[in-house]
Structure formats: structure tokens, C-alpha cells
Amino acid sequence: MLVNIHMKKNILLVDDDLDLSKSVVNYLSSEGFNVVFKSTAQQALQVLQDEHFDLIITDVVMPNLDGYDLIKLLRLDSSFSCIPIIFLTAKGMTHDRVKGYNLGCNAYLVKPFSPLELLSIVRNLLKNFDLMIKTNLVNQDFSYTKQQDFVLTRKELEVFQLVYQGLMNKEIAAKLQLSLRTVEKYVSRLFLKTNTKNRTQLVKFAAVNNFLKNRANDGIRTRE
């Protein structure tokens, strides 16, 4: 029997200002969020392929790919087209904000900013996004709307539950006392069985079908 899951939200912070980023990471972590920091858009795109994030906070002015480039790429990918994005930047002119909103950012916070205001925006966006998922308005282009009858091993189900909670592969490996490579194999199997391509889609699949919050065998057949 699986109990209701209280997910720890994962936030990706992208900024080349190391001092500011450290402060933001420490502050949001103290408020109960799991925050991953990357200093370039390229690094952000790479980690997004491997890990699930509920929200992205990104600077605009960065070397090579900037924040505008990053959001353009994310909004073109159906896996990330709905993820909330906050621009955190010194570019505060009206035309800068308009450009950000036109590209699909959800909030625009100009440096210097109040940590309390950032926290309020983060919580509000996550709350609204969760509501969208619950009402099945997110990812309407998914090939699935109802869960299919498929078989998961007990260990796959355990991994699935921890992925849904927002744990990274390394954290899952430590919690279940498995090697990182073994966890990666389990996650790959889950992608295959649920017809998903990445952790973001996998988590949304579970949220849309609402089965991990109920019985382990409610709609999912398990075997040892």
C-alpha cells in the first residue's frame, strides 16, 4: 500500500552570477525546495534531459545562449512547453519584459529583488501548475489520457514512486541501496512501459492517471 506522496519540488536555477545563485539556492533550499544550479543555458538543457524539474528560474544575460534563447528552445519542445519559467535579470526595461512575456515566461523579476517576492512567485506558479495537472489541462498533446494496463516489478514501482516524489537518480540509488546504473535501467524501463520520453513526462503521466497516490495494484499489475 502506497501512501499519499508529498512531493518536494525541484527547481532549476540558471545564472552565471555565482554569488547571487548561491544565495538563491540557499534561500529556496531553506524553504523546502530542491534546487539544482547551472551556470549556462547549455548545462541547463543537458540536465533537463536527465532530471525532472517543476520550475525554472533563469537569468537573461548569459554567454553563448542567453535566457531568451533558452526559453525559445524549451517552448518548442512539448516536454517543457508548459513548465513555469521565471526570468531573474537586471534587464528591467519595458521592452525587455514584453519580450520575455511574448516568448512565454511566466514571471519577470528584476535584480535587485526581494527574496520574499521570489518565494511568493515560485509558490504561486507551482500551485497553479499543480492545479492544471490535476484538471488534466497540461500536455493535452500526450498520446495517452488514461493509464494502460501494464506490469511493473516491485522494484520498478518503488523507483517510480521516488521519481514521482522528485528524487534524483543518485538519491534513489542511495535510498534503495542500488547502483546508479541499476536505477538508470529501471527509469529507462519505466519510460518504455509508460510510453514516455523523459522524467517530466513520466511524472505527468503519474499525475494525470493519479495511480501512485492510491494502491500499488490499482490499475497496475505487479510481479516480483
At 209, the pLDDT band (50, 70, 90 cuts) reads: low
Q: For residue 200, how many other CB atoms are within 10 A of its CB?
A: 22
Asked if residue 127 and residue 187 are part of one domain, the reply reads no
DSSP 8-state secondary structure symbol assigned to residue 166 = T
Question: Could you list the residue range(s) of the whole structural domain that residue 66 is in?
Answer: 10-134
Asked if residue 122 and residue 19 are part of one domain, the reply reads yes
Asked if residue 120 and residue 160 are part of one domain, the reply reads no
pLDDT computed for residue 115 by the predictor: 92
At 99, the pLDDT band (50, 70, 90 cuts) reads: confident
3-state secondary structure of 143: coil
The strand ranges marked E within 101-176 are 107-110, 150-153
Tell how strand 55-58 and strand 85-89 pair up: parallel
Q: Which amino acid is it at 176?
A: L
Q: Which amino acid is it at 204?
A: K
What distance separates the 2 farthest-apart alpha carbons in the chain?
59
Range name among 9-18, 48-57, 86-95 with the lowest pLDDT average: 86-95
CATH number, domain containing residue 196: 1.10.10.10
Summary mean pLDDT of the chain: 80
**Into how many domains does the chain fold?**
2
CATH number, domain containing residue 70: 3.40.50.2300
Residue 152 near residue 187 (C-beta atoms within 8 A): no
Q: What is the pLDDT of residues 108-129, one digit of tens each?
A: 998 888 999 999 999 999 988 7
Question: Do the domain assignments include residue 172?
Answer: yes
At which of 134, 163, 184 does a domain end?
134
Single pTM value for the model? 0.61
Asked if residue 167 and residue 66 are part of one domain, the reply reads no
pLDDT computed for residue 135 by the predictor: 57
Tell me the C-alpha to C-alpha distance, in Å, between residue 153 and each of 13, 82, 121, 156, 212: 35, 31, 39, 5, 14
Q: Which amino acid is it at 90?
A: A
Q: What grid cell was written down for 125? A: 506558479
How much of the chain, in percent, has pLDDT values that exceed 70? 80
